[in-house]
Structure 1
Amino acid sequence: MAWADKQLNLTKGVTDISQEVYGLHMFALYICTAIGVVVFGAMFWSIMFHRKSKGVKPATFHESTKVEILWTVIPIVILIGMAVPATKTLVSMENNDNSDITIQVTGSQWKWHYKYFDQDIEFYSVLSTPRGQYENQNGVGETKGENYLLEVDRHLVIPVNKKIRFLITSDDVIHSWWVPDFAVKQDANPGFINEAWAIVPEPGIYRGQCAELCGKDHGFMPIVVEVKSEEDYARWIDEQNELIANAAAAEAASLNASLSKEELMQLGETTYTAYCAACHQPTGLGLPPAFPALKGSPVATTGSVADHIDIVFNGKAGTGMQGYGKQLSMKEIAAVVTYERNAWGNDTGDTVQAADVKSATSGSASSAATTVEKVVEKVSKAVSAAPAEDLSKEYTLDELMAKGEKVYNTACVACHQSTGAGLPPAFPSLIGSPITTGDVNAHIDMVVNGSKKNPSMAAFGAQLSKTDIAAVITFERNAWGNNTGDVVQPADIAASAK
């Protein structure tokens, strides 16, 4: 294991429970050591001083009631002395009452899926160590990184000094979620839920691994938990909500986009290498019979595109082929299907767009809209709880432009692009557009209330403060060569709402 080169003793850990477990371990070790010293000491002393060469004659007794009682009672007392504190600790380890945050941990071949209850945040955490570091080609591999096989693309983030309840399960085979610093090691069984908890008193990054042999890539399922201060954790939650909204908007935009075959093949190869190559191999030859070849296969050549999309999106029951509908965007699924149907000599000529994935699956743009609505609701609650704005304050053009650029890059860039060029026709260009160069009040209304003609344009009146809206409108009217010179203040936004 990766911990073998660190220490010989049990990991002491950082949580109170891990300290108790370590204390029990040392307590039992000291008792066993003392028993060993007494038993072997008596044995060696007897051998040395009662040997035949010294003329010692052996005793002739056969039974002793006192000895029988002693060697029965003493071990019982020792075991009770060890069992009482161990039982208290075990009871504490199983007590999930009064938890502050609940996170579902799902093992999958070969990654971890985390879902935050009451937050609508979920994501997959995948090994990020480059393949070149652990797949030696011709005996030559890349130099191993600092956290070799122990780094992931997305950390599980929790706040400090809060009781975190983990619900641990699996969607395929038996895994085991193990973080030594927390004294947490629970099997992830399909169809069952095991529980664990942790209160971490110190911010930092803590690493673990899957501790159950779960298949060919068992060694590539690391766990990374990042513990943040309460303030940093709150900011992280806000960042995740923004990412969800941006991803939902980008997903909706992709349904109206049409990529060239070259663009699809390039994105498809990247996606295939990251998610599919471990089983089906970079050459597409697979690892039969568990992972069949895609090169020349009926699925990727003669089969229908809709069936191909379905198996990538939903997986195939009873096999190692899992569904990627929750892991990949429709754009990525379209790209990887296009790649598989045209790589390794398959050459079907088929190109698949995100809209094709939507029509071939049960997914729809409404799911993206629902996600956005949830984020809007959350942000609305946060805004309503925030201190009242000073609507009388006047900002300079430079102040509004600086703030507006930040707001734009958070709330608008996914659809209208950092250059303002948009993604026509769903998300029109803002460069020289009638909205950004025409009537200011119409521009304000569009941002605050959205567009009835174009449902893709969401209303931001409940998401952003009046200062943020004033800043982003000022930015849009003066960026990318628009240069209208208009300066919009928070009071203007408030006036438009009356």
Structure 2
Amino acid sequence: MGTLLSSSAWAEMELNLTKGVTAISNEVYDLHMLILWICTIIGLVVFGAMFWSMAFHRKSKGVTPATFHESTKVEILWTAIPIVILIAMAVPATSTLIKMENNDNSDITIQVTGSQWKWHYKYFDQDIEFFSVLSTPREQFDNRDGSTIAKGENYLLEVDKPLVIPVNKKVRFLITSDDVIHSWWVPAFAVKQDANPGFINEAWTIVDEPGVYRGQCAELCGKDHGYMPVVVEVKSEADYAAWIAEQKQLIADAKAAEAASLNASMSMEELMQLGETTYTAYCAACHQPTGMGLPPAFPALKGSAIATDPAQIANHVDIVVKGKNAMPPFGKQLSLKEVAAVVTYERNAWGNDTGQMVQASDVNDIANSAKGDTSTQPVAPAAAEPAPAQTSAAVEEDLTKVYTLDELMTKGEEVYMKACVACHQPTGAGMPPAFPSLIGSPIIAGDVSGHIDMVYNGSKKNPAMQAFSGQLTKSEIAAVVTYERNAWGNNSGDVVQPADVDAVSAK
């Protein structure tokens, strides 16, 4: 009996809540067990009294019912006792909830974005980002491969790229979505937060032991909801540092490969082979391996105008890169070469047979043309690093030049829509609490140099606000600060010049 009632015995039961691996998850488990025992005791007392009364005060024993109708003492007791019990449960519950919501003093901030049906992770302090997708082939988990290969224990909880975090560090998660409502859930961390489009929810964890911890999307988000796992790999601090260095090298290699692909041409056979592989991995779930789609949400590609009309090549590429309706954007997931290959495949598979080939340079030209850029620089590859710092050696700036307010506002709006709008919104309203509003905010009403410093060096208190000194010139920073201080009704009248930014950066 002692073993049955022990905490470890209950924790090992498959029907009970798991304890988890973090201090907060253990608090949640202890709270769960406390409430469970309180409810069990109440149930035993209430049902015990009820069955005892039925057995020993039944009519067949000649018991005469009591004639009293009301008792003030009884009324007070059965009102007061539940109140005391509720308060006793509320005190530890409130304490645990407050701890769960305390995101202060985090060491690492990671943005988690749900997308049908994968997760996107962005490390704010390292400029690393990638998608995490179920790695088990669909034919295998759908039992359609005809093979005798046994499925692993975690075949629906395996991903190509797990989220990696270090031990003994407070990791803050900013959780959102770019389409429908998802829910990021890792039971071992006691973290479960909805990912809502247009909003940011926060969570955190500190893990003491290295290991692999699994979860999944816990919100019904569409037809592939069950194939949206979460895998978190916790590494030692040394292994985490090595992983960061490895990711940065992979990013550099990807950028070099993208640049090289602009000057290379693939044969039709090579394009079709790579295109089929890419299509199977990223497109077949919705458009089907036969290209017949799942109308009306996912239209057929076989014989469709978008895949057969020679005049629609640019539109075809643009939809793959940017997405449309239920079609998510793949511009950050696929390289230029992969986009070119999958478009070529779709235009020549299933009897489409257009004979048209698309090269990486074509994708780059179409993407740049769509955004009004006629340069030949490649579009950013998946998980690309920000542009390197633009020093005076790379960009000759006249820091003594004085711009008018109109010039700064025009330039500032362009910079804001390029670098700031994703977080602070076109209206400046932001997405609190991670990305605060700029309308009448303290940073706008405060000292200009503080505003410049925030844009130039980022925020020390809020890692979500990154430094833009490596991405924007001093003239651009001057313009965007001026714009933010005078747009959306702020109307401060402040005019910031490149020399002002230079003075702040020199401190």
Determine if the alignment matches structure 1 residue 324 to structure 2 residue 336. no
Q: Secondary structure at the match of 1:299?
A: helix
Q: Secondary structure at the match of 2:130?
A: strand
Summarize the Cα distance change of 1:346–1:149 in structure 2 as closer, same or farther, 3 Å threshold: same
- The answer as to whether partners of 1:132 and 1:141 remain within 8 angstroms in 2 is no
Structure 1: distance between partners of 2:385 and 2:212: 31
Q: Secondary structure at the match of 1:304?
A: helix
Q: Secondary structure at the match of 2:276?
A: helix
| Offset of residue 170 of structure 1 | 0.3
Q: Paired residue for 1:235, among 232, 238, 242?
A: 242
Structure 1: distance between partners of 2:320 and 2:152: 32
**In structure 1, what is the equivalent of residue 156 of structure 2?**
149
Q: Secondary structure at the match of 2:307?
A: coil
Determine if the alignment matches structure 1 residue 181 to structure 2 residue 193. no
**In structure 1, what is the equivalent of residue 497 of structure 2?**
none
- The answer as to whether partners of 1:166 and 1:196 remain within 8 angstroms in 2 is yes
- The answer as to whether partners of 2:181 and 2:221 remain within 8 angstroms in 1 is yes
| Offset of residue 140 of structure 1 | 7.9
Q: Secondary structure at the match of 1:300?
A: helix
Aligned residues: 371
1:133-172 aligned within 5 A: 133-137=140-144, 143-172=150-179
Determine if the alignment matches structure 1 residue 215 to structure 2 residue 222. yes
| Offset of residue 137 of structure 1 | 3.4
| Offset of residue 365 of structure 1 | 3.1
Q: Secondary structure at the match of 1:365?
A: coil
**In structure 2, what is the equivalent of residue 402 of structure 1?**
none
**In structure 1, what is the equivalent of residue 212 of structure 2?**
205
* More displaced stretch, 132-141 vs 121-130: 132-141
| Offset of residue 374 of structure 1 | 5.9
Q: Secondary structure at the match of 1:208?
A: strand
- The answer as to whether partners of 1:203 and 1:227 remain within 8 angstroms in 2 is yes
**In structure 2, what is the equivalent of residue 109 of structure 1?**
116
- The answer as to whether partners of 1:179 and 1:208 remain within 8 angstroms in 2 is yes
TM-superposition CA deviations, 1:315-337 (whole Å, max 9, x none): 11xx1111100000000000000
**In structure 2, what is the equivalent of residue 340 of structure 1?**
346
**In structure 2, what is the equivalent of residue 246 of structure 1?**
253
| Offset of residue 373 of structure 1 | 7.7
**In structure 2, what is the equivalent of residue 20 of structure 1?**
27
5+ long unaligned stretches in structure 1: 378-498
Determine if the alignment matches structure 1 residue 276 to structure 2 residue 288. no
Q: Secondary structure at the match of 2:306?
A: coil
TM-superposition CA deviations, 1:30-54 (whole Å, max 9, x none): 0000000101111111111111121
**In structure 2, what is the equivalent of residue 424 of structure 1?**
none
**In structure 2, what is the equivalent of residue 94 of structure 1?**
101
Structure 2: distance between partners of 1:213 and 1:292: 22
Structure 1: distance between partners of 2:377 and 2:121: 24
Structure 1: distance between partners of 2:117 and 2:25: 27
Q: Secondary structure at the match of 1:165?
A: strand
Structure 2: distance between partners of 1:200 and 1:374: 33
Structure 2: distance between partners of 1:27 and 1:138: 48
Summarize the Cα distance change of 1:361–1:137 in structure 2 as closer, same or farther, 3 Å threshold: same
**In structure 2, what is the equivalent of residue 256 of structure 1?**
263
Summarize the Cα distance change of 1:7–1:376 in structure 2 as closer, same or farther, 3 Å threshold: farther
**In structure 1, what is the equivalent of residue 17 of structure 2?**
10
Q: Secondary structure at the match of 2:165?
A: strand
**In structure 2, what is the equivalent of residue 437 of structure 1?**
none
- The amino acid that maps onto 2:377 is A
Determine if the alignment matches structure 1 residue 43 to structure 2 residue 22. no
| Offset of residue 166 of structure 1 | 0.3
**In structure 2, what is the equivalent of residue 387 of structure 1?**
none
Structure 1: distance between partners of 2:13 and 2:353: 51
Q: Secondary structure at the match of 1:272?
A: helix
Structure 2: distance between partners of 1:229 and 1:16: 18
| Offset of residue 307 of structure 1 | 1.0
Q: Secondary structure at the match of 1:128?
A: coil
Q: Secondary structure at the match of 1:360?
A: helix
Identity %: 77
Structure 2: distance between partners of 1:267 and 1:109: 23
TM-superposition CA deviations, 1:159-217 (whole Å, max 9, x none): 00100000000000000000000000000000000000000111100000000000000
**In structure 2, what is the equivalent of residue 309 of structure 1?**
317
* More displaced stretch, 362-371 vs 276-285: 362-371
Summarize the Cα distance change of 1:156–1:293 in structure 2 as closer, same or farther, 3 Å threshold: same
1:407-422 aligned within 5 A: none
Task: Please give the TM-score of this superposition, normalised by the length of structure 1.
Answer: 0.72
- The amino acid that maps onto 1:97 is D
Structure 2: distance between partners of 1:101 and 1:348: 50
**In structure 1, what is the equivalent of residue 201 of structure 2?**
194
**In structure 2, what is the equivalent of residue 294 of structure 1?**
301
Q: Secondary structure at the match of 2:74?
A: helix
Aligned Cα RMSD in Å? 2.1
Structure 2: distance between partners of 1:299 and 1:48: 78
Q: Secondary structure at the match of 2:105?
A: coil
Structure 2: distance between partners of 1:23 and 1:7: 16
Summarize the Cα distance change of 1:119–1:138 in structure 2 as closer, same or farther, 3 Å threshold: closer
Task: Please give the TM-score of this superposition, normalised by the length of structure 2.
Answer: 0.71
Structure 1: distance between partners of 2:176 and 2:148: 35
Structure 2: distance between partners of 1:203 and 1:163: 14
Structure 1: distance between partners of 2:98 and 2:343: 50
Structure 1: distance between partners of 2:155 and 2:265: 39
Structure 1: distance between partners of 2:64 and 2:137: 72
| Offset of residue 6 of structure 1 | 8.0
- The answer as to whether partners of 1:127 and 1:222 remain within 8 angstroms in 2 is yes
Summarize the Cα distance change of 1:376–1:160 in structure 2 as closer, same or farther, 3 Å threshold: farther
Q: Which structure is larger by alpha-carbon Rg, 1 or 2?
A: 1
TM-superposition CA deviations, 1:134-158 (whole Å, max 9, x none): 2233998853222120000001000
